[in-house]
Each structure stands twice: as structure tokens, then as C-alpha cells.
């Protein structure tokens, strides 16, 4: 079969030109491994000094950590800033960069410069950044993260007439989810590990922010995590989605809308109080077979009426809401 010919104006010609002159730096090229001279002593790797940081963690101050920050900036893990601004303090920005790096390279996500992380960092590598304009193609865990949020939305959809659909248009979505660190411009800065885990803004704002400094557990049994600071991602997602839909906090400890949750705990099943509140706002799913009480002693009727008015004025009669992700910080 005759191969189709490209139009001449679409044909690109590439010319590879090797110039051997005195102006070109000579490379050390060995025809084969037996060509090494007996007295040849190669220099150490460019980043071998980073091995001295083994065990460093947030709060430490160690000579040379500013150079490691420059490394992470070079490959996209720390936003661009003058290198002279980097200190030798192991701060939140460095911890966040290390966690993102560990996720990208399938390492245990600890935020600590452990042996495995440093062995990976000092390896020879490509000079192209891993993260460009806030996005990466490396993180194999991204699909797992989106699955967690989809499961969290499904818990609310199960008991209401609401439906949720993921969209690729972040700024066009009704609900926008992202991980952020420290002061991220919304007037509610994050505070590092534990403390404030996340926040969401009630309708129709649609912003849902999570603290990238947390030790988020995406899959597996969080109750058996070796990390005392492990936080279950789905548990927090279910709670914050409740706020996105117009619910406030509950005084019922079993409810997902209770304000606090301890580390290494999973809490994703809607309690009767959660179901009562959300169905008051949006009605019941006709296919839902569980309990759907019409009132709750924990809710004041006037408060519920105000909440209902706000939610209806925000979302109108919508039954389909779109959500999108921006994984700038967690990646």
C-alpha cells in the first residue's frame, strides 16, 4: 500500500550538526568499560552533599539546606523565588516539597529526609522539571486521589437528589478542589501539620481547600498507619462537601459534620443527623432505603429554614453539580 505523503509545507527538517573545535568542551567518553585508566578517580556526584541531611525534618536548621531548596525549585517543587531568599531552615515549604517529591517517586510520604528519599535525590537525572506550571504527569497517585473525592461525593448523592460530575474545566466547575500551603490568598492560611486540616466555603463560592502539609492517607487502613499524624482524606472530604452544600457543624459526635476528628481515624458514614440536614435542603433520593428522618432535635427550625433559603438561592433547582481538581500543592 502506498504511504500517504505529507504536504511539503508540513515537512520539518532537522539538521544535527556536530562541531568539533577548540571552543567546544570535551566530554569524557569511554569506548567501553575496560577503557578506564587504573588511576582515574571520578569526582563525586553533583548532589552527594545532600546525603548529609539524613534524618532532617521540619524545625531543624542545617548548613546547606538552602542548596536543597534550590534543587527542589529547579525541578518545580518550590515556586520560583530568588535563591538568595532561601535559608537553611527546614520550613513548611521544604517539607511540602519533600512530600510532593516522595509521592512522585513512589516513596513513603513522610516529609522527612530519610535514606530512601536522599538516595533518589542524589541520583543522576534529566534536567527537565518534574512540575511545570503547577502540573505534572508523574504522580501515579492522582487517579487514586480523584477516586477518593468521587466516593465522598457519592455518599451525599446516595441520600439526596443531587448528582455530581467531574469536569476538566477547573474555573468553570461549581466546586473547585485543591491542596494549598500556608497563606494561599483566601484569608484563611493553613498552619502546617494537624491543626486546621481543610476548609470549604458555603454556596455558591464552591472553593474546597486542603492543607498540603498534612500526612494524607489516600488508600488503605488509616487506623493502622505508622504515622501518628496520618489523616484520612475521604473523611475530611465528606465533611467539607457538607459545608459546600450548605450544612453547618453538628453537635452530634457521630455525625460527619462534627467539627473535630482525630488523626488515624476514618469517619465517612453519614449519621442520621447528617442525612436529616442534607435532605431538608435538597430532598431525599427516592432510591435511598436507609433512615431519612424529617426532623432532628439537634437542629433549630429557624436555623434550618435560613439554611434552606441560602442553599436554594445558591443552587436554585440544580440537581447536577460539577467538580474539578487542582493538584498544585499535592500533585
Output phi, psi for 92, to 5 deg.
Answer: -60, -35
Question: Residue 208: in which H helix or E strand, if any?
Answer: strand 207-211
Has 126 been labeled as part of a binding site?
yes
Angle at 129 between CA 328 and CA 139, to 5 degrees: 50
Does 8 carry a binding-site annotation?
no
**Is 209 annotated for ligand binding?**
yes
Was 138 annotated as part of a binding site? no
**Gap between the terminal Cα atoms of the chain:** 46
For cell 492522582, name the residue: 142
253 annotated ligand-binding residue: no
Whether 240 is catalytic: yes
Question: By the 8 A CB rule, do 234 and 266 touch?
Answer: yes
Q: Is the Cα dihedral 224, 225, 230, 235 positive or negative? A: negative
Was 243 annotated as part of a binding site? yes
Residue 183 marked ligand-binding:
no
Residue 80, annotated as binding a ligand: no
Active-site annotation holder among 95, 240, 253, 254: 240
Parallel/antiparallel/unpaired status of strands 207-211 and 198-200: antiparallel
**DSSP 8-state symbol, 259:** S
Which residue positions form the known binding site?
126, 174, 184, 186, 191-192, 199, 209, 211, 214, 239, 243, 249, 257
Binding-site sequence positions for Ca(2+) = 174, 191-192, 211, 214
- Active-site residues: which are they? 240
Annotated binding residues for Zn(2+), written as ranges, equal: 126, 184, 186, 199, 209, 239, 243, 249, 257
Amino acid at each position: 500500500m502506498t504511504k500517504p505523503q505529507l504536504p511539503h509545507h508540513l515537512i520539518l527538517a532537522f539538521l544535527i550538526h556536530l562541531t568539533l573545535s577548540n571552543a567546544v568542551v570535551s566530554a569524557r567518553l569511554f569506548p567501553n568499560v575496560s577503557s578506564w585508566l587504573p588511576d582515574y578517580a571520578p569526582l563525586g556526584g553533583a548532589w552527594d552533599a545532600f546525603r548529609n541531611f539524613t534524618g532532617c525534618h521540619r524545625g531543624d536548621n542545617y548548613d546547606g539546606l538552602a542548596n536543597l531548596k534550590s534543587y527542589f525549585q529547579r525541578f518545580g517543587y518550590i515556586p520560583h523565588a530568588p535563591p538568595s531568599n532561601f535559608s537553611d531552615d527546614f520550613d513548611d515549604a521544604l517539607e511540602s516539597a519533600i512530600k510532593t517529591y516522595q509521592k512522585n517517586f513512589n516513596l513513603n510520604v513522610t516529609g522527612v529526609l530519610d535514606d530512601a528519599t536522599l538516595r533518589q535525590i542524589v541520583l543522576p537525572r534529566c534536567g527537565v522539571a518534574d512540575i511545570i506550571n503547577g502540573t505534572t504527569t508523574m504522580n501515579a497517585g492522582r487517579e487514586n486521589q480523584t477516586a477518593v473525592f468521587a466516593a465522598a461525593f457519592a455518599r451525599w448523592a446516595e441520600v439526596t437528589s443531587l448528582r455530581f460530575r467531574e469536569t476538566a474545566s477547573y474555573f468553570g466547575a461549581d466546586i473547585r478542589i485543591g491542596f494549598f500551603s500556608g497563606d494561599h490568598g483566601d484569608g484563611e492560611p493553613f498552619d502546617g501539620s494537624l491543626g486546621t486540616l481543610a476548609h470549604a466555603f458555603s454556596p455558591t463560592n464552591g472553593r474546597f481547600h486542603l492543607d498540603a502539609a498534612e500526612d494524607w492517607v489516600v488508600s488503605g487502613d488509616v487506623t493502622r498507619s505508622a504515622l501518628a499524624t496520618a489523616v484520612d482524606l475521604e473523611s475530611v472530604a465528606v465533611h467539607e462537601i457538607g459545608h459546600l452544600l450548605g450544612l453547618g457543624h453538628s453537635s452530634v459526635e457521630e455525625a460527619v459534620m462534627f467539627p473535630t476528628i482525630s488523626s488515624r481515624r476514618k469517619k465517612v458514614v453519614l449519621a442520621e443527623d447528617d442525612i436529616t440536614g442534607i435532605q431538608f435542603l435538597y430532598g431525599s433520593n427516592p432510591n435511598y432505603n436507609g433512615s431519612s428522618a424529617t426532623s432532628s432535635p439537634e437542629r433549630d427550625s429557624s436555623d434550618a429554614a435560613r439554611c434552606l433559603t441560602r442553599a436554594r438561592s445558591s443552587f436554585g433547582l440544580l440537581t447536577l453539580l460539577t467538580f474539578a481538581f487542582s493538584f498544585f500543592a499535592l500533585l
